[in-house]
Amino acid sequence: MEERKELDRNGANGSGPCDGRPPNPLAPSHRQCLTNKSGTTVPCKKSLVRHPSLVKTKMSDISDDPISSVWSRKSQFLPVIRSGACADIGFRTSMEDVYVCVDDFVQDYGLTNMADGPNAFYGVFDGHGGKHAADFACHNLLQYIIKDEDFPQEIEKVVSSAFLQTDAAFAEACSFDAALSSGTTALAAIIMGRSLIVANAGDCRAVLCRRGTAIEMSRDHKPICTKEKERIKASGGYVYDGYLNGQLNVARALGDWHMEGIKSREGGPLSAEPELMSMDLTEEDEFLIIGCDGIWDVFRSQNAVDFARRRLQEHNDPVVCCKDLVDEALKRKSGDNLAAVVVCFQSGPPPNLIAPRPRVHRSFSAEGLREIQSYLDNLAD
């Protein structure tokens, strides 16, 4: 494997703030780690209307999840943002995972009329059939968000629209160059003030650590999932041996316009519309892990939180924590590319959690007490 390279806070990976572009995911190194800074510009576009075949998951449909109980929680907490990211080719022959970290898009993009507090964007993209779709989404998704005329007032609508705009723009790019044909899953996390919004299309995952407890902020969109299977069938597709139309093992993705019967301008069984989850962060929220499926193939959500929490208690460095996660996934023999982002919400390390010792109440019957007294009397004799 190539030697892992760390990026400094100026984005030294082939491009940086000097040319106004994000850290370049096309750099020759297959292993890369960064802290933050990203930026580029595309024309402003209005929100897209989603494809008529897409069925949006309503929050009321997932009220049995742990996250549903904390969405409405009020807080005056403002997070202190620190982030890191790491990617590794793993045991694959090519690298198709990419990521983006922007700790302050207001400053990086010169935005005005934004609320006080953090304004950050993070994303992971897991390409398939090539890396072009993942690179395209990585470089353009945030642009479609911040350039939308409804941003930031209607953030959830804007984020959903940005996924569809990115998908449609990539389709247009592929129409001019068939060599770009590929697909990618995508997960984006946006922090505005104390609000956390996670948008996911595919099998990347976001997990929040709240006082050591893992709270999943996304769902893995697999064709075998009941709701995804129903949506696929309603859109004219089918699931065979766990694969959408017998071809893809994800139910939602950007790109893949070249695959027959999967997606068209009128819709199709492969959806690019993300599923959104949002909540207000509180003082109990410590960090967020987002990663491509190569991480989650060998980590359960709580296991990843436990592992990352121990590492952050040791060194309190989200960049090193990401390296630790990736290295551990390699040790556990993950067979996929690996990409992970860790976003800390506190300036200090996670605190030690000391569980209160339960008071043990014991009682003895009168007969038991007599037997003990008799035993003690015998000892005295």
The answer to whether 320 and 82 have CB atoms below 8 angstroms apart is no
pLDDT (0 to 100) of residue 358 = 66
User: For residue 90, what pLDDT band results from cuts at 50, 70 and 90?
Assistant: very high
Greater model confidence, 83 or 365:
83
Q: What residue spans of the chain are helical by DSSP H?
A: 105-109, 132-146, 155-176, 226-234, 293-296, 301-315, 318-331, 366-380
Q: Is residue 334, in this structure, part of any structural domain at all?
A: yes
- Decide if 201 contacts 163 (C-beta within 8 A): yes
264 has pLDDT over 60: yes
pLDDT for position 373: 76
Average of pLDDT values for 355-373? 69
Question: Is 369 inside any structural domain?
Answer: no
Give the Cα separation of 140 and 166 in Å (integer).
7
CA–CA separation, 327 and 124 (whole Å): 18
pLDDT digits (tens, 9 = 90+) for 192-229: 999 999 999 999 999 999 999 999 999 999 999 999 99
43 within a domain of the structure (yes/no): yes
Q: What is the predicted pLDDT for the residue at 380?
A: 67
pLDDT at 175 over 60: yes
pLDDT mean over 46-70 = 42
Whether residue 368 lies inside any domain: the answer is no
Q: What is the mean pLDDT of residues 306-310?
A: 98
| pLDDT of res. 355 | 66
CA distance 324 to 216: 21
3-state secondary structure 92-103: CCCCCEEEEEEC
Of the chain, the percentage scoring pLDDT greater than 70 comes to 77
Tell me the pLDDT tens digit for each residue of 311-353: 999 999 999 999 999 999 999 999 999 999 999 999 999 999 8
Looking at per-residue pLDDT, the higher value among 159 and 2 belongs to 159
Amino acid 66: pLDDT:
38
Q: What is the pLDDT of residue 48?
A: 52
pTM (predicted TM-score): 0.79
Range of the domain at 55: 5-353
**Given pLDDT bands bounded at 50, 70 and 90, which one contains residue 76?**
confident
The H or E element that residue 51 is part of is none
Residue 245's alpha-carbon distances to 54, 65, 250, 274, in angstroms, are: 16, 29, 10, 20
User: Is 278 among the domain residues?
Assistant: yes
Q: What's the structural domain count of the chain?
A: 1
Q: How much is the average pLDDT of 128-153?
A: 97
Say which amino acid occupies 251: A
For the chain, give the mean pLDDT.
83
Q: Tell me the pLDDT tens digit for each residue of 224-235.
A: 999 999 999 999
107 phi and psi angles, rounded to 5 deg: -70, -45
CATH code of the domain in which 264 resides: 3.60.40.10
pLDDT for res 265: 86
CA distance 380 to 226: 72
Report phi then psi at 55, rounded to 5.
-115, 115
Predicted pLDDT of residue 353: 85
